[in-house]
Structure 1
Amino acid sequence: MSQEKNLKINTDDSEGSYEPHTPGGHAADASQPTMPVYHRQYGNPAPLGLLAYGTVFLAASLFNINARGIHNGSLVLLFAMFYGGIMQTLVGMWEMFLGNTFGATVFATYGGFNMSYGALYLPGVGVQALYTDANGVLSPDFEQAVGIYLLIWDVITLLFLIGCLRSSAPVVWTFGTTVVALTLLAANSFTGIQSLAVAGGVFGLCAAAGAYYAALAGFYSPTVTFKWIKLPPMSLAYSEV
């Protein structure tokens, strides 16, 4: 006999209800047990991207100001290619998945910038070889081309600066100082004046500091560190309050 035939209807008017019951007197429930609902949580990839951004600028800027008397800054290629390039590109993809178009565009763009900057000086890529004559002398055109290259990224950064004016003070500071740094470095490539490279390095250090602050404000929380270790995000978002 089917389950439906074993059910009886409670028609007690005093209770004013019509509820099916099993032969044992229990309320009938033919529904399937519900599956537990899991709400997937996603982390915030922005601090990783900001740390990568700041670290590349920190390394490059230290070499630009000739820290410790070092004049060969080739080591910065490691930061640019593997940390700045790869990590920021991945962060850009993750931001796109999370629906943050601005963050995805910024991080993926700077990931490409870092990898292309690294490739510019890698012998295996051969860009410098194209500007070298038969005697191994580097053509003056190379520095002029690098200046144009930096100016193009300077314009892109300026566009990002305009687009982030209502985000937070550290982010605006980071993009603003990056614009100045790239302008000075491009001018150094055009003119060969070393003091411009040093000035660009100083502003690059300021950009790195802003990126680090924005990153730490994003992941310093009571779940990972002490409550009193907290950086205010300094949001510039519009509020009617």
Structure 2
Amino acid sequence: MQDNSNRTLIVDSTANPAPLGLMGFGMTTVLLNLHNAGFFALGSMILAMGIFYGGIAQIIAGIMEWKKGNTFGTTAFTSYGLFWLSLVGLLVIPKVKWGDATESVAMGAYLFMWGLFTAVMFIGTLKINRRLQFVFGSLAVLFFLLAAGDWTGNIAITHIAGWEGIICGFSAIYTALAQVLEELYSKS
């Protein structure tokens, strides 16, 4: 019996969405942690970054990773995009009288759960590269420090977390820009 079927090879020519997601995460993380370190108050600039660049841009990157068949990228970017949107919701909803403010014990639990998620995602980075290992490892530490700061009410822990978060955010920015430049220079 002869096989007369035609086969079509589809080549993925879409762009790498990881730099977009990493930049959205990194820039928003740096700005929020400048606040946590005590440089300025929490304001609309951080909230807007949380909604649009930290939130929506990462969700878009997660959907693009899904299209590429990358389960890790889909899970990471979509989850952290939704983290930023939920964090902004936790901060804004009480101000518009849609609910009560989240108590520090509950906020600590929220941050601790994100720390657990991130710790497991860090294990996944052990099969990827050192830059992402640093981003995820430092992010897990950040979440656990922020949770400890909320649970204890110790502002010094939150300030330390802020400095650690600035390092984490800049490591994501570095990773994003390295991917962009490596791709550009490999094509020349």
Please indicate, yes or no, whether the TM-score normalized by the shorter chain is above 0.5: yes
Larger Rg: 1
CA shift for structure 1 position 41: 2.0
Contact 1:143 1:190 in 2 (8 A): yes
Deviation at 1:123? 3.7
Considering fraction of residues, name the structure with more helix: 2
CA distance in 2, matches of 1:61, 1:84: 13
8 Å contact from structure 1 (residues 173, 210) kept in 2: yes
Structure 1: gaps (5+ residues):
1-37, 132-140, 228-241
1:146 aligns with 2:107: yes
Secondary structure (helix, strand or coil) at the match of 1:167 reads coil
**Greater RCO (CA < 8 Å, at least 6 residues apart):** 2
Cross-structure match for 1:110: 80
Which whole-Å CA distance do the structure 2 matches of 1:167 and 1:213 have between them? 16
Aligned length: 179
Asked whether 1:130 is paired with 2:91, we answer no
Match of 2:52 among 76, 82, 85: 82
Preserved CA contact (<8 Å) 1:181 1:199: no
For 2:109 and 2:45, how far apart are their aligned partners in 1? 23
Residue 162 (structure 1) aligned to one of 109, 120, 123: 123
1:98 matches 2:68: yes
Structure 2: gaps of 5 or more residues: 1-9
Deviation of the 1:39 alpha carbon: 6.2
Q: Which amino acid aligns with 1:155?
A: L
Q: 1:166 Cα shift?
A: 2.1
Distance 1:63 1:87 in 2: 22
Residues 222 and 142 (structure 1), Cα distance of their counterparts in 2 relative to 1, 3 Å cut: closer
1:55 equivalenced with 2:51 (yes/no): no
How far apart are residue 170 of structure 1 and its match?
Answer: 1.1
Alpha-carbon distance between aligned partners in 2 of 1:127 and 1:150, rounded to the nearest angstrom: 23
Identical amino acids, percent of aligned pairs: 33
Q: Report what 1:119 is aligned to.
A: 89
TM-score, structure 1 as length reference:
0.68
